[in-house]
Amino acid sequence: MNLLLDAVQLQGRIITLAAEIERDYPPDEEIHLVGVLKGGFMFMADLIRAMSSRVTLDFIAVSSYQQSTRSTGEVRLLKDVDTRLEGRHVIIVEDIVDTGLTLTYLQDILRARAPKTLRTACLLSKPSRRLIDVRVEYIGFTIEDKFVVGYGLDFAERFRNLPHIAVLDQG
Ligand code: IMP
Ligand code: MG
């Protein structure tokens, strides 16, 4: 495996991203972060600690990959959020946007709950693989078409614990 982004690079970018997000909302209004399990949990944990405004959080779980490095194109909702989104400033917090299928699905179902605003923050983006032109307001890093693991991202449930992002060798 080859190192792509080390822990210092990740933290630095996340601090900037948190500041960008906070600048975009009125200071007295609550921001509700919806983390996408499982991959988004580490990004969520660091992003929320870099924010000083009023924030609340929840998680949603979807599955789109069956132990493969290519999307099956089918998105399944495994766990819904616990609280109502109506009238709230909602930000989806996801690990990576690849084809865009997962985020399009999530944005559609969350938008239907009438949040006051709905935006998306993704740590990584692989634009060359996009099948749907999904809107992502906050992107940490744009990367090439390589399968990456670590910092929450897995291959067959492995490597989520790495504190950095690495490129998986696909021999
Ligand atoms: P999309 O629906 O194709 O945009 O895929 C998004 C989901 O696929 C992400 O939430 C990840 O869970 C997974 N994914 C896409 N690319 C990678 C990768 O390079 N490493 C690990 N997971 C990935
Ligand atoms: Mg994911």
Report the atom number in ligand 1 closest to the C-alpha of 36: 10
pLDDT digits (tens, 9 = 90+) for 39-72: 999 999 999 999 999 999 999 999 875 555 565 5
Predicted TM-score (pTM) of the model is 0.95
For helices 41-49 and 7-23, what crossing angle results, to 10°? 60
Q: How far is the CA of 164 from the centre of ligand 1 (A)?
A: 16
Q: Is 4 near ligand 1, meaning CB less than 6 Å away?
A: no
Give pLDDT tens digits for 102-113.
999 999 999 999
Annotated catalytic residues are 98
Residue 99 DSSP symbol: S
pLDDT of residue 170: 76
Give the nearest ligand 1 atom to 96 CA. 9
Which residues are bridge partners to 55 per DSSP? 31
Instruction: Identify the pLDDT of residue 69.
Output: 59
In which element (H, E) is residue 118 found? strand 117-125
The pLDDT tens digits for 75-104 are 889 999 999 999 999 999 999 999 999 999
Rounded to an integer, what distance in angstroms lies between the CA atom of residue 118 and that of residue 110? Answer: 8
d(CA 60, CA 100): 17
Q: Exposure of 157 by Cβ count < 10 A (0-12 exposed, 13-18 middle, 19+ buried)? A: exposed
Three-state DSSP at 139 gives strand
Q: Is the CB of 41 under 6 A from ligand 1?
A: no
Q: How much is the pLDDT for 116?
A: 98
Tokens 């580490």 — which residue? 42
Given this model, what pLDDT does residue 75 score?
87
Rounded (to 5) percent helix, strand, coil in the chain:
25, 35, 45
